[in-house]
Structure 1
């Protein structure tokens, strides 16, 4: 194919550019493709990791059903060790904590919960772990430790549970005024549809803090 003078000059210029920078361009393309391949591999790897983690989590649930605490703990440790970044790891630790608690092993239960509180990426998981740690502290009469677990900020949807747990500790300390304040605040933050409202209202009534009757002006 014949080219006019201007086109030929552009082609010659392109050839000169390629001679000077061709290897650089090639490497840039390879780097870009390599980066894309790595990204694709990582996503595939993550998908495989999630699948394997979910399968192990399902097996752990079977052990929960059969009340085999030893197997539950082994499965939870496997998930934490092999898939620490997967969402199933903190979920498994929370389940393992409940299993240990039911089996009367408070030491293991606290260890599992503390792992979630220290390492979970999801704030809700961390909050649940702290609330449950506070509950165990209440059972052990370690009231200051329980209140320490409930200090700081928490996700809005769990603030009512935190206040409820604080109220329980205040009652155990015979600090009725603080308990009443905590229960009232918890009730204010709790959704009307929350099944825990009735239990919370009963606690509030028990400490002399029955909800005030609202007067609707006509």
Structure 2
């Protein structure tokens, strides 16, 4: 402001500025505070939803341990209700295991395929892929099993994948290829059973 104007003129200028800009200032303040509180509310709701999903997951998985058909239905309902959550993927893995135990390999394969399609978690994905490969091998779908193993890219899984590939090839009757896979697995990192498998093939 001009240093030569009087205090009364300064007051008049402030009044005039406020009259022109006051609504915008108030509105901006309201929007800013609303956005702040709205974001905090959103974060609180997201956290609450995660906690509820976690609790529900624990409950349905605990019921699944009973082996009842109703428990399996409850897990399936949980998966449908929480499709966007990683808890649904974990539930699908647990349900697939129970279905394998019950001899329902088709249903287990469907659960694992769904889990693979709905997760990008590098810790979960190879678990689902190798389990699905095992199921395909049990169903004598050896080429599908090998194809699924080819999709496992995590470095930390390569030794296990090579050994499992050897198992599948052995089931398929390809002895030489199985031996090569076992040797590859041994070079990547041996498992307690791997040397026994190689010794059996040498006999």
- TM band (smaller chain): 0.7 to 0.9
Give the TM-score normalised by the residue count of structure 1. 0.77
**Cα distance in 1 for residues equivalent to 2:145 and 2:197:** 19
Gaps of 5+ in 2: none
Distance 1:26-1:166 versus aligned 2 partners, 3 A rule = farther
Contact preservation (8 Å) 2:93, 2:128? yes
Number of the residue aligned with 1:92: 91
Alpha-carbon shift at residue 27 of structure 1 (Å): 3.8
CA deviations over 1:118-161 (Å, ceiling 9, x no partner)? 00131222221111111011011001111121123522222222
Structure 1 unmatched runs, 5+: 209-218
Aligned to 2:195: 201
Name the structure 1 match of 2:74: 75
For 1:155-189, what per-residue CA distance to the aligned partner results, in whole angstroms no more than 9, with x for missing partners? 22222222222111111222223222322332333
Deviation at 1:101, TM superposition (A): 0.8
1:64 counterpart residue number? 64
Which digits, 9 at most, give the CA deviation of each residue in 1:75-101, with x for residues without a partner?
Answer: 322322222233321111100000011
Conserved in 2, the CA contact under 8 Å of 1:60 and 1:71?
no
Distance 1:51 1:41 in 2: 15
Change in Cα spacing, 1:19 to 1:163, as seen in structure 2 (3 Å) is farther
C-alpha separation in 2, matches of 1:54 and 1:119 = 18
**Higher mean displacement: 112-121 or 172-181:** 172-181
Deviation at 1:74, TM superposition (A): 2.2
Deviations 1:54-80 (A, max 9, x none): 222222232233222x23322322322
- Measured on the aligned residues, the alpha-carbon RMSD in Å equals 2.9
Q: TM-score, normalised by structure 2?
A: 0.81
Q: How many residues align?
A: 200
Corresponding residue for residue 41 of structure 1: 41
Distance 1:7 1:20, change over 3 A: same
Which position in structure 1 is the counterpart of 2:141?
A: 142
